[in-house]
Amino acid sequence: MDDERTIHLPLEVLDKCDECGQSGDSHRLRICSYCGERAYCSTECQKKDWPTHKASCGKSKTDRIPLTAFYPFLACLAEACRFHPSKPHHPAQTHAILNSPNPGSQPARFPDGTEAVLVLLGESVPFTVDPAAWWPTAISSPVRSKFFRRLQREGYLLSLVLSLCIALLQEVYTTTSAPDGSRRIRLQYKNSPISDFGILKGAASVTNQDQLAYFNLSDLTFRAGQDPKEHYWLYFKTLSGQEITLDCGMFTFNFGLVVHGAPYGDSIPLPIPPATAPAFVFDPVTARTTPHIAEARERFSVLRDAGLQQALSGPEIDWSAVYDFMDRVAGGACPDIEKDLVKVWSRDNARALQKVFQRRAWTRWPAEPAVDIEADPGEMHGRPPVEDEEWWNYMERWNRKYNRGRVTRDELGNAFRRFQARRAGAE
């Protein structure tokens, strides 16, 4: 940010006339058609208020971007974040996969009572290694490719959604009509302006068959995968009281709803634009036929948070205030890497939005974006989850032998392979 900016808040509720103060229902009150930020009970009140209002209203109408056309771009920005060079590689992408977590794999139960499909990791391999050498037991190349993308999209979800929110606050709600010809930009759904947006925190509806966990034989460490009980997604609330949510974090749980990225490619900060990007929009239309995939426990407004408004008002963003907000959403101190990613991703997302607004690119985007479902190649059905304490007990015995120096690391890996071979024969 080169100059000081002001956050221009839209109307939060439509409940009274901004001139006479008379309360009324939303059917009788009307908002200013130019700025959408003042409400009136009559033409007379609007005319009376004009001498005061015209300085902030401006002489040009607001560019109103339909959320239904805009959300795929946000999803593509989220995908660009996942491929940003500052994001650490997932450990399962840089270690050989020794077992066969193919579609239909049965989840294991761990001592803490959680269940997930286990991914057994071996020696380190380069990130750019031949895919077949990285995971030799995948049943097909398409299965291997999708699994790699599930790993690429795992983790750092709070950093991702917060970076989108910071960019929106910085580049959308600081715009206003000005003598230099700049235009006010606002989001809307149907014919109603967006009155608030922010982050929802809750639990996603995920089966244990679609969760992952990792055991690294190189250092004998266990790592749980992304936790569906600590899930984050975006919400947008309209002036008329409707809510629309955007979830970009379910692909790692094998929820394969995606939008096609081609129409937005020239504005996405990637050398090669994403072919698809995970996105699930839940709005009043989809609510009639589709169950929600996550249940919210807490709501954190970004647009109306006074600390964030102040943080973005100066010539430079006060990142300490952003990090304080992030810790509050998380319910504790976030790791430094997650805060570093918020800073980097917010800047890239803001630049992408600037490019879109300068080119008015959204006017060329499809009103109804192309969506698809990316199912598992050769998907298998009918394999119910089972408790796998037998596996855990078996490996615990071998781990104790290894820790006492009675077996080598290779012998430990061979023990696991013998167990898998025995189980495969029994099936």
SS3 call for 195: strand
Q: State the Cα–Cα distance between residues 384 and 115, nearest whole angstrom.
A: 12
Closest CA to 84 of 374, 350, 349: 349
User: What pLDDT shows up at residue 2?
Assistant: 46
Q: State the Cα–Cα distance between residues 15 and 22, nearest whole angstrom.
A: 9
- Quote the Cα angle for 342-199-14, to 5°: 130
In a domain, 21, yes or no: yes
Same-domain pairing of 54 and 81 = no
Q: State the Cα–Cα distance between residues 96 and 134, nearest whole angstrom.
A: 5
Strands 294-301, 280-282: pairing kind: unpaired
Same-domain pairing of 68 and 182 = yes
Alpha-carbon separation of residue 264 from 72, 161, 349, 353 (angstroms): 8, 19, 13, 11
In a domain, 116, yes or no: no
Same-domain pairing of 346 and 364 = yes
- Quote the Cα angle for 318-7-303, to 5°: 85
Same-domain pairing of 69 and 175 = yes
In a domain, 105, yes or no: no
Q: 10-residue block means of pLDDT along the chain (427 residues)? A: 74 88 75 85 91 78 91 96 95 95 91 91 90 94 94 97 97 80 87 95 94 93 95 96 96 94 88 88 85 93 96 92 98 97 97 93 93 73 42 63 63 62 56
Report how far Cα 67 is from the mean position of its chain's Cα atoms: 16
Domain extent at residue 397: 389-426
Q: State the Cα–Cα distance between residues 211 and 290, nearest whole angstrom.
A: 22
User: What pLDDT shows up at residue 6?
Assistant: 86
- Quote the Cα angle for 104-105-111, to 5°: 140
Same-domain pairing of 288 and 407 = no
Strands 212-216, 115-124: pairing kind: parallel
Helix H or strand E segment including 52: helix 43-57
Residue with tokens 């560019």: 63
Closest CA to 65 of 420, 360, 300, 398: 360
User: What pLDDT shows up at residue 381?
Assistant: 37
Same-domain pairing of 70 and 49 = no
In a domain, 345, yes or no: yes
User: What pLDDT shows up at residue 394?
Assistant: 66
Same-domain pairing of 288 and 415 = no
* Rg of the chain, C-alpha, whole Å: 25
Same-domain pairing of 259 and 183 = yes
Report how far Cα 241 is from the mean position of its chain's Cα atoms: 23
User: What pLDDT shows up at residue 385?
Assistant: 35
User: What pLDDT shows up at residue 387?
Assistant: 37
Same-domain pairing of 411 and 307 = no
Q: How many domains does the chain have?
A: 3
User: What pLDDT shows up at residue 155?
Assistant: 96
Same-domain pairing of 242 and 335 = yes
User: What pLDDT shows up at residue 288?
Assistant: 76
Q: State the Cα–Cα distance between residues 152 and 147, nearest whole angstrom.
A: 9
Strands 276-278, 115-124: pairing kind: unpaired
In a domain, 348, yes or no: yes
Sign of the four-CA dihedral 182, 184, 189, 194: positive
- Quote the Cα angle for 221-225-229, to 5°: 130
Alpha-carbon separation of residue 316 from 5, 188, 200, 310, 347 (angstroms): 10, 28, 27, 11, 11
In a domain, 193, yes or no: yes
In a domain, 307, yes or no: yes
Q: What's the full length of the chain, in residues?
A: 427
Closest CA to 233 of 195, 280, 277, 194: 280
Closest CA to 67 of 371, 266, 293, 365: 365
Side chain identity, residue 252 = T
Same-domain pairing of 181 and 263 = yes
Q: State the Cα–Cα distance between residues 156 and 158, nearest whole angstrom.
A: 6
Q: State the Cα–Cα distance between residues 123 and 101, nearest whole angstrom.
A: 17
Residue with tokens 């077992």: 99
Please list the residues that pair with 216 across neighbouring strands: 121, 221
Same-domain pairing of 414 and 295 = no
C-beta separation of 332 from 218 below 8 A: no
Strands 63-66, 185-189: pairing kind: parallel
Q: State the Cα–Cα distance between residues 425 and 83, nearest whole angstrom.
A: 40
Sign of the four-CA dihedral 171, 337, 204, 149: positive
Closest CA to 396 of 111, 96, 100, 117: 111
Residue with tokens 């598992």: 376
In a domain, 108, yes or no: no
Q: Which tokens go with 282?
A: 């839940």
